[in-house]
């Protein structure tokens, strides 16, 4: 803590900050560009100038850059100093010299940091009378549009892209007043975090192309606090809607989870919400070969209850991509003993094991912010950037954080970004990755071990044994693996805070058990470490906490005739088990009711299809991989712009079905009621009700506004349908209003912020106004509640499994893919464009045996792919891209037909 004097006032601030951060944290405005709370200071833009005085008696002072000056105790500065103000005005004037002043057609307009800062410094008159320079733009792929004329050369893009996210294809080119930021040649931006450029760039150089096609100003978008549904990380998002369509997703600041950044799957993968082919009305298909007909809601409900009433036994199949509320409501409908999670047996076992380990392995699960504070990392059997996007970015920060540690030794503060980079060069905190092929973190890794899943597990067991001899050893390690285990164990033991990362990507319980052993060994050696376990889907964790039978069981019950009716909640069974198995089961079902927002293969087999709400049209709760329950809220009422549509939250449909089934008149329920019922039915979910305030929550007696103050056109939005202005939809489920009437300020601390806006701060930089200190936590507390807590006690070590004999043939090793590896985001156009042409990976030996070579094409399960022959890839395994072979399980035998292309 330090006492500083600003404009004659005394303040207490965090002495580890620079003056800019300290002042912004106090709520004082200083304009800035190149500084970023997550990326530190470089002193390039010179916009943050203030006057600093040596001491009380110094009345002359000196202009300094606040971002490059420590907030040391007894620092005296004036922000409101004439000389500093004049200099700041000059800086904006220079930045605007070549700026095209194209705000009316610029997609940044209205949430542009450059606009805000120009207004803040009072620059409103152009004195430069000469020619502006102009630039050519580049094609950068399907996500991001490029407009270099708007650039103000703050260097933030390259600092984020290269220094923070590890990219190598975007750079600063040229010199003097001709610095160009772009790719070294035209083409798709390679970094999976490129989307953050749209928020990192203070002006409109990098803009969201998915938004561009249906562009709407920020002030005309309607928002709600959202949770990304595209992986198990649970990043907080701010989805924006106009005319019944989702138009963009922006980062929603969360001090513990995603901070300022998202991955590109989360940001650009929302397109499935807007698909024209979405079911918008209940549908009924009389027989499997007839076309579906749409039904009125009452008819649909009546016919469904009629059918279900006549069935012998109804099985409910839940979904890890649906909310706790919807899954609960399905359980309530069919009864717990008839409920399946919809997750295949092996994955479910892995999920249960992960929940168990999180409680009993002795190490807590860190938040993403906390992950960045770990100083040695072992990743066992995961490719985190591909399987949990944003988590990978945090692991990179953990490795890079060695910079800060080194900086401390010679007194370089953590915010002095370039200085730390120079000091550390390529010295990173140790990061070890056991994964069969290249990962996006290899460039900062101490080593990567290309191993088969079983060997990854054995390596983990061996590491645990070396940390704590009481942990059972792995027998018969090769010399290389023994050395690796030794090196890893030594590094983890040397660290202050070692971290183990693993997860379900390989579908291997031994791998998870090995990770658990490492964690337990570390905890027994009194290490203050952490363990993070990656799940596959947005609510995998939540659903596994709820329990239920695995999907295989449900299908068997049907196939065996133990049940004849089926209700499937937002789940495409064909994604989870082989087609034959699913077909056989569905053939036995007299009645199949599917609730979904997409026309999945399963939906196409449904007798009744109920038009479910996607995350954008629903409220609900998800539990992320930390075990954090987080609530997402309805962004828009789908019936407002499309009065003819009948889209409802699955939990609402299921409730209506239950009521109908009992022959009662449908009284509606609310989110609060479902949550209460859910907690009552599942004490292990206790706390989820605290994930967000209930519907009666008010600030200053007001609801919370979904729309910014300047929202326009509401009264005419539907004028093409009806001249009378429709009533604003009422929201019985949440504290948010479908209008700009309501609280949208930042003075009152709050957790649930649909959009960040503060007077004078229209850009994402406005989050600075909502945090306790800039880059810290939301003043109202970071949202969400941890449902999984470590249980004290020693726990037991797991034993390494017997070595299975080498099985003949190839087994599937499914490689997670950020783009194309996840069901719903794969339905979004830009993601499809960004998805790489899939290939299969084989070891050199196996390829030789099969007489195929790299570049050949082969056919696997009906898909034709090209072969990548890779040194170091484990023999006996075939690498297949996730998302391509629906229903193929990890470790399953795969036969490969190379007659398709053959050797060239």
CA dihedral sign of residues 183, 186, 190, 195: positive
Quick one: 458 or 648, whose CB is closer to another protein? 458
**Least Cβ distance, residue 35 to ligand FES (angstroms):** 4
Note whether 72 and 90 are within 8 A (CB). Answer: no
Quick one: 34 or 235, whose CB is closer to ligand FES? 34
216 binds, among another protein, ligand FES, none (CB under 5 to 8 A by kind): none
Q: Pick left, alpha or beta for residue 809 (phi over 0 → left; psi -120 to 50 → alpha; otherwise beta).
A: left
Binding to ligand FES, residues 33-92 (CB under 6 A)? 33-35, 41, 43-48, 65, 67
Quick one: 202 or 271, whose CB is closer to another protein? 202
- Distance (Å) of CA 139 to CA 154, 205, 398: 21, 12, 32
628-632 and 785-786 beta bridge pairing: antiparallel
Return phi, psi of residue 250, to 5°.
-115, 160
Quick one: 180 or 553, whose CB is closer to another protein? 180
**Least Cβ distance, residue 66 to ligand FES (angstroms):** 6
Quick one: 37 or 879, whose CB is closer to ligand FES? 37
Pick from 24, 32, 669, 679: which binds ligand FES (CB under 6 A)? 32
Helix (H) / strand (E) containing 486: helix 479-494
**Least Cβ distance, residue 158 to another protein (angstroms):** 8
67 binds, among ligand FES, another protein, none (CB under 5 to 8 A by kind): ligand FES
771 binds, among another protein, ligand FES, none (CB under 5 to 8 A by kind): none
Residue 768 gets which letter from DSSP? G
Quick one: 406 or 694, whose CB is closer to another protein? 406
Q: 293, 5, 37, 296: which is closest to 156 by C-alpha? A: 37
553 binds, among ligand FES, another protein, none (CB under 5 to 8 A by kind): none
**Least Cβ distance, residue 889 to another protein (angstroms):** 25
4 binds, among ligand FES, another protein, none (CB under 5 to 8 A by kind): none
Quick one: 419 or 842, whose CB is closer to ligand FES? 419
763 binds, among another protein, ligand FES, none (CB under 5 to 8 A by kind): none
Quick one: 159 or 242, whose CB is closer to ligand FES? 159
Query: What DSSP string runs through 564-615?
Result: -EEEEES--GGGTS-HHHHHHHHHH-SEEEEEESS--HHHHT-SEEEEB--G
**Least Cβ distance, residue 167 to ligand FES (angstroms):** 22
> Given the structure tokens 């083409």, which residue do they identify?
187
**Least Cβ distance, residue 882 to another protein (angstroms):** 19
184 binds, among another protein, ligand FES, none (CB under 5 to 8 A by kind): another protein
Return phi, psi of residue 749, to 5°.
-60, 135
> Given the structure tokens 């947005």, which residue do they identify?
538
**Least Cβ distance, residue 205 to ligand FES (angstroms):** 17
90 binds, among ligand FES, another protein, none (CB under 5 to 8 A by kind): another protein
173 binds, among another protein, ligand FES, none (CB under 5 to 8 A by kind): another protein
Burial class (CB in 10 A: 0-12, 13-18, 19+), 483: exposed
Quick one: 837 or 899, whose CB is closer to another protein? 837
**Least Cβ distance, residue 775 to another protein (angstroms):** 20
Quick one: 147 or 617, whose CB is closer to another protein? 147
Quick one: 488 or 656, whose CB is closer to another protein? 488
**Least Cβ distance, residue 541 to ligand FES (angstroms):** 39
863-870 and 628-632 beta bridge pairing: unpaired
Strand pairing partners for 167? Answer: none
Note whether 464 and 797 are within 8 A (CB). Answer: yes
Helix 671-681 and helix 324-334: axis angle, to 10°?
70
Instruction: Show the CA angle centred on residue 700, arms to residues 694 and 705, nearest 5°.
Output: 65
**Least Cβ distance, residue 224 to another protein (angstroms):** 37
Quick one: 79 or 324, whose CB is closer to another protein? 79
Quick one: 69 or 751, whose CB is closer to ligand FES? 69
Quick one: 238 or 768, whose CB is closer to ligand FES? 768
Q: Report how far Cα 236 is from the mean position of its chain's Cα atoms.
A: 7
- Distance (Å) of CA 65 to CA 56, 85, 415, 780, 788: 20, 12, 13, 31, 45
3-state secondary structure of 226: strand
Name the closest residue to ligand FES (Cβ): 67
**Least Cβ distance, residue 376 to ligand FES (angstroms):** 33
Quick one: 538 or 813, whose CB is closer to another protein? 813
**Least Cβ distance, residue 91 to another protein (angstroms):** 5
- Distance (Å) of CA 431 to CA 392, 428, 582, 584: 12, 8, 41, 46
Q: Is 814 among the residues that bind ligand FES (CB under 6 A)?
A: no
**Least Cβ distance, residue 36 to ligand FES (angstroms):** 9
Would you state the structure tokens that stand for residue 121, as one six-digit string? 């410094």
Quick one: 99 or 211, whose CB is closer to ligand FES? 99
CB atoms within 10 A of CB 747: 12
In Å, the largest CA–CA distance within the chain is 91
d(CA 847, CA 843): 6
172 binds, among ligand FES, another protein, none (CB under 5 to 8 A by kind): another protein
3-state secondary structure of 352: helix
- Distance (Å) of CA 579 to CA 24, 601, 602: 57, 10, 10
Query: What DSSP string runs through 648-666?
Result: B-HHHHHHHHHHHHTT---
Q: How many residues bind ligand FES (CB under 6 A)?
A: 14
- Distance (Å) of CA 58 to CA 170, 382, 465, 815, 871: 45, 58, 63, 64, 68
Quick one: 47 or 365, whose CB is closer to ligand FES? 47
97 binds, among another protein, ligand FES, none (CB under 5 to 8 A by kind): another protein
**Least Cβ distance, residue 45 to another protein (angstroms):** 5
**Least Cβ distance, residue 605 to ligand FES (angstroms):** 58
**Least Cβ distance, residue 97 to another protein (angstroms):** 5
Q: For the chain, what is the radius of gyration of the CA atoms?
A: 28
Note whether 392 and 441 are within 8 A (CB). Answer: yes
11 binds, among another protein, ligand FES, none (CB under 5 to 8 A by kind): none
810-815 and 877-881 beta bridge pairing: parallel
Note whether 91 and 47 are within 8 A (CB). Answer: yes
32 binds, among ligand FES, another protein, none (CB under 5 to 8 A by kind): ligand FES
d(CA 515, CA 500): 7
**Least Cβ distance, residue 68 to ligand FES (angstroms):** 6
48 binds, among ligand FES, another protein, none (CB under 5 to 8 A by kind): ligand FES
Residues that bind ligand FES (CB under 6 A): 20, 32-35, 41, 43-48, 65, 67
């Amino acid at each position: 803590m330090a006492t500083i004097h600003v404009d004659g006032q005394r303040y207490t601030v965090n002495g580890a900050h620079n003056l800019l951060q300290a002042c912004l944290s106090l709520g004082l405005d200083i304009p800035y560009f190149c500084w970023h709370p997550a990326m530190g200071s470089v002193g390039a833009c010179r916009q943050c100038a203030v006057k600093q005085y040596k001491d009380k008696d110094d009345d002359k002072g000196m202009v300094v850059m606040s971002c490059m000056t420590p907030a040391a105790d007894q620092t005296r500065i004036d922000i409101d100093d004439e000389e500093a103000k004049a200099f700041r005005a000059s800086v904006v004037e220079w930045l605007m010299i070549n700026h095209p002043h194209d705000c009316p057609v610029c997609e940044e307009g209205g949430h542009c940091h450059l606009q805000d800062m120009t207004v803040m410094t009072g620059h409103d008159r152009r004195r430069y009378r000469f020619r502006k320079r102009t630039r050519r733009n580049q094609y950068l792929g399907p996500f991001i549009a490029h407009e270099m004329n708007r650039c103000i050369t703050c260097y933030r893009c390259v600092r984020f892209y290269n220094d923070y996210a590890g990219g190598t294809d975007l750079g600063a080119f040229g010199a003097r007043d001709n610095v160009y930021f772009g790719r070294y040649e035209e083409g798709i931006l390679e970094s999976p975090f490129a989307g953050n450029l749209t928020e990192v760039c203070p002006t409109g150089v990098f803009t969201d192309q998915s938004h561009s096609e249906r562009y709407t100003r920020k002030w005309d978008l309607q928002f709600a606090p959202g949770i990304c549904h595209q992986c198990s990380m649970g990043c907080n998002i701010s989805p924006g809607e106009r005319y019944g369509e989702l138009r963009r997703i922006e980062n929603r600041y969360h001090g513990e989870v995603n901070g300022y950044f998202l991955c590109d799957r989360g940001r650009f993968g929302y397109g499935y919400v807007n698909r024209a082919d979405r079911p918008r009305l209940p549908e009924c298909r009389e027989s499997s070969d007839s076309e579906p007909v749409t039904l009125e809601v009452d008819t649909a409900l009546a016919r469904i209850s009629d059918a279900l009433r006549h069935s012998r036994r109804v099985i409910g199949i839940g979904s890890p991509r649906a909310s706790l509320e919807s899954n609960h409501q399905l359980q309530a409908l069919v009864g717990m003993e008839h409920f399946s999670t919809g997750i295949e047996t092996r994955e479910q076992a892995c999920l249960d094991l992960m929940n168990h380990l999180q409680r009993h392995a002795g190490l807590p699960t860190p938040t993403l912010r906390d992950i960045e504070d770990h100083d040695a990392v072992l990743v066992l059997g995961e490719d985190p950037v591909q399987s949990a996007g944003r988590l990978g970015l945090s692991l990179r920060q953990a490795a890079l954080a060695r910079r800060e540690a080194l900086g401390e030794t010679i007194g370089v503060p953590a915010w002095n970004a370039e200085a730390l980079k120079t000091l550390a060069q390529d010295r990173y905190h140790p990061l070890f990755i056991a994964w069969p092929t290249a990962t996006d973190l290899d460039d900062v890794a101490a080593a990567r071990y290309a191993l088969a899943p079983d060997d990854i597990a054995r390596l983990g067991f061996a590491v645990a044994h070396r940390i704590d001899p009481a942990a059972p050893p792995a027998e018969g390690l090769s010399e290389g693996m023994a050395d690796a285990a030794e090196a890893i164990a030594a590094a983890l033991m040397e660290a202050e805070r070692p971290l183990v990362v693993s997860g379900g990507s390989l579908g291997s319980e031994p791998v998870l058990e090995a990770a658990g052993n490492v964690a337990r060994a570390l905890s027994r050696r009194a290490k203050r470490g952490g363990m993070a376990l990656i799940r596959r889907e947005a609510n995998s964790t939540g659903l596994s906490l709820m329990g239920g039978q695995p999907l295989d069981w449900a299908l068997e019950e049907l196939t065996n005739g133990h049940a004849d009716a089926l209700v499937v909640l937002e789940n495409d069974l064909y994604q989870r088990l082989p087609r034959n198995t699913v077909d056989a089961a569905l053939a036995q079902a007299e009645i199949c009711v599917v609730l979904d927002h997409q026309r999945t293969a399963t939906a196409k087999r449904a007798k009744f299809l109920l038009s479910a709400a996607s995350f954008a049209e629903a409220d609900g709760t998800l539990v992320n991989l930390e075990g954090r329950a987080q609530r997402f809220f309805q962004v828009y009422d789908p019936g407002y712009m499309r009065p003819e549509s009948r889209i409802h939250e699955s939990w609402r449909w299921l409730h209506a079905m239950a009521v109908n089934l009992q022959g009662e008149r449908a009284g509606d329920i609310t989110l609060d009621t479902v949550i209460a019922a859910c907690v009552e039915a599942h004490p292990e979910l206790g706390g989820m009700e605290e994930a967000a305030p209930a519907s009666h929550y008010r600030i200053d007696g007001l609801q919370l506004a979904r729309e910014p103050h300047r929202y326009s056109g509401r009264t005419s939005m539907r004028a093409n349908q009806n001249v009378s202005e429709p009533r604003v939809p009422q929201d019985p489920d949440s504290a948010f209003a479908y209008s700009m009437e309501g609280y949208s300020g930042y003075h009152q601390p709050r957790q649930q912020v649909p959009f960040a806006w503060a007077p004078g701060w229209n850009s994402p930089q406005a989050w600075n106004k909502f945090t306790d200190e800039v880059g810290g936590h939301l003043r109202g507390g970071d949202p969400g509640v941890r449902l999984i807590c470590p249980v004290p006690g020693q726990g037991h070590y797991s034993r390494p499994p017997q070595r299975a004999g080498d099985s003949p043939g190839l087994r599937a090793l499914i490689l997670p893919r950020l783009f194309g590896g996840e069901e719903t985001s794969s339905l979004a156009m830009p993601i499809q464009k960004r998805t790489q042409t899939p290939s299969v990976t084989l070891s050199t030996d196996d390829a030789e045996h099969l007489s195929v070579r790299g570049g050949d094409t082969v056919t696997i399960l009906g898909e034709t792919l090209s072969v990548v022959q890779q040194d170091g890839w484990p023999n006996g395994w075939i690498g297949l891209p996730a998302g391509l072979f629906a229903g193929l399980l990890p470790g399953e035998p795969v036969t490969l037909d190379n007659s398709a292309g053959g050797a060239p």
